[in-house]
Amino acid sequence: MNLKEIYNTKQKPVISYEVFPPKDDTDGEKLEALFKELNKLLCYNPSLISVTYGAGGSNRNESVEIIRRIKEELKVTPMPHFTCVSTSTKNISEYLKTIESFDVKNILALRGDIPKDGSVCNDFKHADELVSYIKDNTNLSVAIAGYPEGHKECKSFEQDLIYLKQKADKGADVIFSQMFFNNDHYFSFVEKCEKIGINLPVIPGILPVSSYKQLFKMADMCKVEIPLKLKETLEKHQDDSDYTKKYGIEYASSQCEELLQNKVRGLHFYTLNKSYAVGQILKNIL
Ligand code: FAD
């Protein structure tokens, strides 16, 4: 199914998961572990599983293999992520042909982070150019990334929104949001998107917190707020990993409940390749 069909015709809420190709997996053990985890989450009827793409295509082959297995073994619609900033048009064209040869219908079109050494390719400077290219050259349905608290590089939130509209208008079907821990940012973002004329589903990205250190690292990297209550609770129990995981599940469950009360079209879970927390959250809310 393509993204339009999934988000317009599927029963609400649409459940989706994000996974990443395991690192340093020479013997394939981590890949098998990932599929075991995904199998445990099939009972919540996911409509989509997305697979991240390493900066500059570092894990391209692994990504493609995971996409193939999601489709063939799990019988779930896969959505590869793809970044363009360090890749030539020729490479992009080859990649798109490869995934279309597996009958993949969807893609998340991204610019990607600018590499620290500045080694960009310059064929594609921003994700909107990639969206246009994909729409002109394939039949893929395209998702794009949105940032409820603004993208970390943006000079102003308003300008970020104008660029988001530009990207949406090139033919995107859905927006997947960056993680957030304060739902107000999401609600305000959706309202501002509507006001500026972006009429696409904005799917909230949910990260169940499982480690104090990891939360701070990720929040700092993505420039997202950690609400005081979450911060204080995790700080107080930072040496108690069982408590942190339990609290992370409770926190994300109440975030999801409020989002569902506000009629979101779907929930996209950043699984970090693990099933337990996401499974517990879905058990709590569905
Ligand atoms: P863009 O939409 O191009 O925006 C990047 C910046 O440029 C923004 O500040 C924007 O305001 C500005 N901008 C946009 N268009 C223009 C323009 N025309 N002119 C001037 N400025 C402009 N990264 C990975 O490496 N692999 C992944 O798999 C991955 N998956 C992700 C999934 C989701 C749901 C999200 C939210 C992010 C993901 N990322 C991933 C991170 C993403 O690659 C980075 O946030 C990257 O820095 C921006 O990508 P983008 O597609 O949002 O870029």
Q: Is residue 55 scored above 80 in pLDDT?
A: no
Q: Is residue 89 scored above 90 in pLDDT?
A: yes
Q: What is the pLDDT of residue 59?
A: 80
Q: What is the pLDDT of residue 10?
A: 64
How far apart are the CA of 155 and the centre of ligand 1, in A?
A: 14
Q: What is the pLDDT of residue 58?
A: 74
Which position has the token pair 């509507």?
194
Report the C-alpha gap between 188 and 165 in whole angstroms: 16
Q: Is the pTM of this model over 0.75?
A: yes
Residue 254 C-alpha from the chain's centroid: 20
For 124, the token pair is: 């594609």
Report the C-alpha gap between 28 and 38 in whole angstroms: 16
What integer is the mean pLDDT of 21-37?
94
Cβ of 83 closer than 6 Å to ligand 1, yes or no, is: yes
Report the C-alpha gap between 78 and 66 in whole angstroms: 9
CATH number for the domain running over 3-285: 3.20.20.220
Cβ of 145 closer than 6 Å to ligand 1, yes or no, is: yes
Question: pLDDT band at residue 195, thresholds of 50, 70 and 90?
Answer: very high
Q: Could you identify the atom of ligand 1 that is nearest to the CA of residue 112? A: 43
Q: Could you identify the atom of ligand 1 that is nearest to the CA of residue 55? A: 25
Q: Is residue 173 scored above 90 in pLDDT?
A: yes
pLDDT tens, position by position, 222-268: 999 999 999 999 999 999 999 999 999 999 999 999 999 999 999 99
- What's the alpha-carbon Rg for the chain, to the nearest Å? 18
How many CB atoms are closer than 10 A to CB 166?
14
Domain locations in the chain as residue ranges = 3-285
Q: Please, are residues 104 and 142 in contact by the beta-carbon 8 Å criterion?
A: no
How far apart are the CA of 111 and the centre of ligand 1, in A?
A: 5
Q: Could you identify the atom of ligand 1 that is nearest to the CA of residue 146? A: 36
Report the C-alpha gap between 125 and 100 in whole angstroms: 24
Q: Could you identify the atom of ligand 1 that is nearest to the CA of residue 113? A: 47
Report the C-alpha gap between 51 and 111 in whole angstroms: 16
What are the Cα distances from residue 136, in Å, to 46, 145, 171, 194, 284? 29, 20, 10, 26, 43
To test the pocket of ligand 1, the residue of 16, 49, 110 to mutate (highest count of ligand atoms within 8 Å of its CB) is 110
For 62, the token pair is: 């692994």
How far apart are the CA of 235 and the centre of ligand 1, in A?
A: 30
How far apart are the CA of 110 and the centre of ligand 1, in A?
A: 5
Q: Please, are residues 177 and 222 in contact by the beta-carbon 8 Å criterion?
A: no
Instruction: Give the mean pLDDT of the chain.
Output: 95
Bridge partners (DSSP) of residue 17 are 49, 269
Cβ of 44 closer than 6 Å to ligand 1, yes or no, is: no
Q: Is residue 166 scored above 90 in pLDDT?
A: yes
Residues identified as active-site: 18
249 Cβ contact list (under 8 Å, min separation 6): 208, 277, 280, 281, 284
Cβ of 85 closer than 6 Å to ligand 1, yes or no, is: no
For 274, the token pair is: 């693990």
How far apart are the CA of 250 and the centre of ligand 1, in A?
A: 30
